[in-house]
Structure 1
Amino acid sequence: MKLKTLAQISAIAALAGIGMPAFAQQTVTWWDFFAGGDGVRMKALIEQFNEEHPDVQIEGTTLEWGVPFYTKVRTSAAVGRGPDLMTYHLSRMPLGLSEGVLTPITAADLDAAGLSEGDFFASSLDAAKGPDGTLYAVPFDIHSIVLYYNKTYLEGTRFLDDEGKLTGIESLADFEEALQAAADNGSEAPVTYATGDDGGTYRVFYTLLSQQGGTLISEDGEVLPGDSAEKAVKALEIMTNWHDQGWQPEQALYEASVALFTSGKSAFQLNGVWEVPTMKDLEKNGNLGFEWGAVEIPKLMDTRTTWADSHAWAIPVQGDEEMDPAKREAVMQVIGWMEKHAIQWADAGHIPAYKPVAESDEFKTMEPNATYSSLADGATYDPRSEVAGVASPAYDAAQNIISPAMHGYLSAEDAIEQVKSELESKMN
């Protein structure tokens, strides 16, 4: 029932002298960090929820993504001035637990939301738990980097099948053959990603490391344990080779790396699923001069896996105060509704973490999401460490050490040794 409709009924009832049953409206204060297309879609979901729930109203605020958001969460939780509900990256779960800003999500909470742990992909659910198995967040999506491709540069090669879909990339050698074929067909930067930025560099590096079975930080806090340092060197050498061959852009920041692909200069783009709306909007408006697709990152090394993270729902600590049970029930009602309407969030390129939506007929026909949704089962999340995850020292090391190394400013061996030393120093 919409608020306007409720008001009209109330007015009619008042004129007729009929009493209306009273209800206690709950206001759920909400913080998120969504901008761009994500922000538009989230605001639409909030508006729809509010229209359908006159008894529970979301009062939303969007804050700056990254360090500013998590800093504000920490300071507000300490003094009891935080929101009732917030979005949270699961890669920052270790930080949240160390700071003591997250409250456990109980089985009773999930029940109030109409949810259960079995409703979620195991990879995202595990990332939402603490070391002891306690749930501290409810996953909303799985977002990863995928391989976008421009069909123009692959025409006449073995890398397009009869339906114009990407095929034949089953190893690093295959991928590099495709890059050279694209270069021969006139691609200015056969593969583009943010080579001068933290996120783009880190996610490609971490994927190549993980596909070798390497570990950046072990569960007991060891940086590059065992032979992982050698595997990290190998990952960096691959990225350096792409630079040396002229296949990837020179120190490209995020926006420039995206522009290389959308303007038709790159055959491939290694970037997040969140750029799917950009591609669809350009295509819809007639501003895209080529046919494109997007697939799960191929198995380039030993294992099929890809860096991934999740946006999730979390309930922060409120200083020394306990949340009123009725308010908490309202918060869980919001979470449950959002999960069950996640198909609208999937329109932003994400994979729903809530399996009933991810496995629905509607999602199965949503392209290119359905094509790369297989990555949900094999995703590798960031290490469970306070120095890893979004806006962390690990990301800083990617920008300050790995990126310069692949541009020739220091050797892969020296760079990985510096990464190891840098991350270890942040743990002390």
Structure 2
Amino acid sequence: MSLPNSFPTPPPRTGDRPLSRRRLLSGAAALAGGGLLLGCAPGARNSAEELTYWHLMTGGDGTVMAGLVDAVNAMNAGFRTTQTVLAWGPPYYTKLAMASAGGRAPDLAIMHASRIAGYAPGGLLEPWDLDLLAELGVRESDFPPLVWQKGLYDGQLYSIALDTHPFVLYYNTEHAAKAGVADAIQTMDSPEAFTEVARKLQRVTGKHGLSYGYLGDGSQMWRLFYTFYRQTGAEMKLVPGSPAQVDEAAAVEALSFVRSLLDDTIATRSGDGGTATSEFLHGESGMFFGGVWELPVLKDAKLPFDARPIPTLFGQDAAYADSHTFVLPRQSKVSPERRRHVYQLVAEILKHSVVWAGAGHIPAYQPVVRGSEYQQLKPQSNYAGIPAYVNYDPDAWFGGAGSDFHKYFAENVQNVYLGSGDPAAGFEGFVQRLNKLLDRPQPV
């Protein structure tokens, strides 16, 4: 089964606005402390042949996803898919948990890989049939090992990754050339080397060498910290009923380095995400730490820039990322024919996910990544190797995208970044918060 030749091309990113082709629903109450609120919610179906698909893609991502699904619908393969878009974050995950707990969930849903640990153990998801996936051309060997493994729980596959979306380093190519660091940006291999490049870029811009926005955003704080923490070779394991397994020395080293960059010369000490993006867009900095989801905005600005993985400054390749994944929410009744159609839908989206790469994401389905169409995408193909050493959030029922995990990090570490807090004390406070959660039973 293949898609028609009129497969959609990525549209320009237009910002987070409602899409006329789909319904935008507001979610239920937010998750409390990363926990899940259970209850019942309807997953309405218009007919036996119509599949229901929930996701949280809005703006440019939502437009691309809508095009992918429309293209599959145009195949007239005996089913049609109706998309429902819900508000990102806690509202989405709460509503999905409620629907799954009631056995009246959608046929298919998107979930961040970092959330699987909070759903699969409680029976809110159903495992994928590997034989049926293989029949449709989707196999374990088609995915980077770390990305595939993130979808496993208790030996079964509960999520199939659509992409990997990491934290990367963008840089202004004109500023780099003027500062004489075009080659050095590709070879930075220590904190000292990175700092030297940043200071040279600052002398060219006259404002900052680096843009990094974090103020009031625990996710931004965590993404950079966890990248450097893992680059030291340190691990973080969160096992229910046991204290968090962490490396305090590595954490202090990573936090101290980040704080050293926030000196109001290399980077502003108190910038948020909007400040950082604006600075870089206006040429007021030479480098920019940001997610690949920032790519469409940078391209729209016609900025002379490129991107690469965050350099390995502490000895071991590591990069923070998450993945959008396909999951099968638990249902009280499952029709084999209907379920097969869901598998067909997912297989076709994966096989044509080069369209999804236009938004900056790295397709998880490696036949697409190895294809010439993706390899010609710049700067996307520059960071295509990240999934080989990707680092997701530690598995925890209270963790993942849209949970309070990153907020707990911010509560203890923001003052460290601001220069008024002690790195060791800040990290210790975060660990103490984790230990309290690890002492609680999983609420699902």
Question: What is the TM-score normalised by the length of structure 2?
Answer: 0.84
Counterpart pick for 1:234 among 253, 257, 265? 253
2:317 equivalent in structure 1:
304
Q: Which of 110, 121, 146 in structure 2 is aligned with 1:98?
A: 121
Give, in angstroms, the shift of residue 194 of structure 1: 2.5
Contact 1:30 1:59 in 2 (8 A): yes
Matching of residues 187-202 of structure 1 within 5 Å: 187-196=206-215, 197-202=217-222
Contact 1:26 1:330 in 2 (8 A): no
Aligned to 1:295: 308
Q: Which consecutive segments of 4 or more residues in structure 1 shift more than 4 A?
A: 218-224
1:361 aligns with 2:380: no
Structure 1 residue 249: Cα displacement: 2.7
Contact persistence 1:145–1:270 (CA under 8 A): yes
Q: Give the Cα–Cα distance (whole angstroms) in 2 for the partners of residues 2 and 273 of structure 1.
A: 27
SS in structure 2 at match of 1:315: strand
- 1:259 counterpart (254, 274, 278): 278
Matches within 5 A, 1:68-79: 68-79=91-102
Q: State the Cα distance separating 1:25 from its structure 2 match.
A: 6.7
Measured in 2, the distance between the counterparts of 1:100 and 1:364 equals: 39
Q: Is 1:203 aligned to residue 223 of structure 2?
A: yes
Please, which runs of 5 or more residues in structure 1 have no aligned partner? 4-23
CA, structure 1 residues 317+111, in 2 after alignment: closer, same or farther (shift >3 Å)? same
Amino acid paired to 1:210:
R
Residue deviations 1:159-201 (CA, integer Å, cap 9, x gap):
214xxx9433122111110111111112423222222112211
CA distance in 2, matches of 1:240, 1:192: 13
Residue 232 of structure 2 aligns with an amino acid whose one-letter code is Q
The residue type equivalent to 2:200 in the other structure is: A
Sequence identity (%):
28
Deviation at 1:116, TM superposition (A): 1.3
Aligned mates of 2:258, 2:51 — CA distance in 1: 46
Q: Name the CA shift for 1:317/1:25 in 2 (closer, same or farther; >3 Å).
A: closer
Residue number in structure 2 paired with 1:143: 165
- Find the aligned partners of 1:269 and 1:113 in 2 and give their Cα distance: 40
- In the alignment, the residues of structure 1 paired with residue 242 and residue 191 of structure 2 have an alpha-carbon distance, to the nearest angstrom, of 28
- Whichever structure has more helix as a proportion of its residues is 1
Of 374, 377, 392, 1:381 maps to 392
Please say if 1:278 is aligned against 2:289: no
Q: Does 1:38 align with 2:51?
A: no
Aligned to 2:33: none
Secondary structure class of the residue paired with 1:294: strand
Q: Which amino acid aligns with 1:244?
A: D
Deviations 1:244-299 (A, max 9, x none): 3532234333233222211221211111111111122222xxxx4xx100001111
Give the whole-Å Cα distance in 2 for the aligned partners of 1:2 and 1:299: 40
Q: Which consecutive unaligned segments of at least 5 residues does structure 2 have?
A: 5-46, 440-444
The Cα shift of 1:354 comes to 0.5
Aligned-partner residue type, residue 236 of structure 1:
L
Contact 1:102 1:136 in 2 (8 A): yes
1:189–1:265 CA contact under 8 A, matched in 2: yes
| 1:118-197 correspondence runs (5 A) | 118-130=141-153, 132-161=154-183, 166-196=185-215, 197=217
Q: Which residue of 1 aligns with 2:79?
A: 56
Deviation for aligned residue 1:120: 0.9
Alpha carbons 1:308, 1:380 under 8 Å: kept: yes
C-alpha distance in 1 between matches for 2:254 and 2:206: 24
Query: What letter corresponds to residue 118 of structure 1 in structure 2?
Result: S
Larger radius of gyration: 1
Indicate if the aligned counterparts of 1:217 and 1:225 stay in contact, CA closer than 8 A.
Answer: yes
Q: What is the RMSD computed on CA atoms of the aligned residues?
A: 2.1
User: What pairs with 1:330-341 in structure 2 (closer than 5 Å)?
Assistant: 330-341=341-352
Distance 2:351 2:396 in 1: 31
Contact 1:350 1:369 in 2 (8 A): yes
Deviation at 1:99, TM superposition (A): 3.2
Residue type matched to 1:201 in 2? M
CA distance in 2, matches of 1:138, 1:192: 34
Q: Tell me the equivalent position of 1:397.
A: 408
Cα 1:210–1:169 change in 2 (3 A) is: same
In the alignment, the residues of structure 2 paired with residue 36 and residue 409 of structure 1 have an alpha-carbon distance, to the nearest angstrom, of: 37
Which amino acid is 1:332 matched to?
Y
Distance in 2, matches of 1:125 and 1:217, equals: 19
Residue identity in the other structure for 1:207: T
Provide the aligned length of Structure 1 versus Structure 2: 395
CA distance in 1, matches of 2:405, 2:265: 26
Residues 1:315 and 2:328 are matched in the alignment? yes
Structure 1 residue 398: deviation in Å? Answer: 2.8
Q: Distance in 1 between matches of 2:207 and 2:416?
A: 22
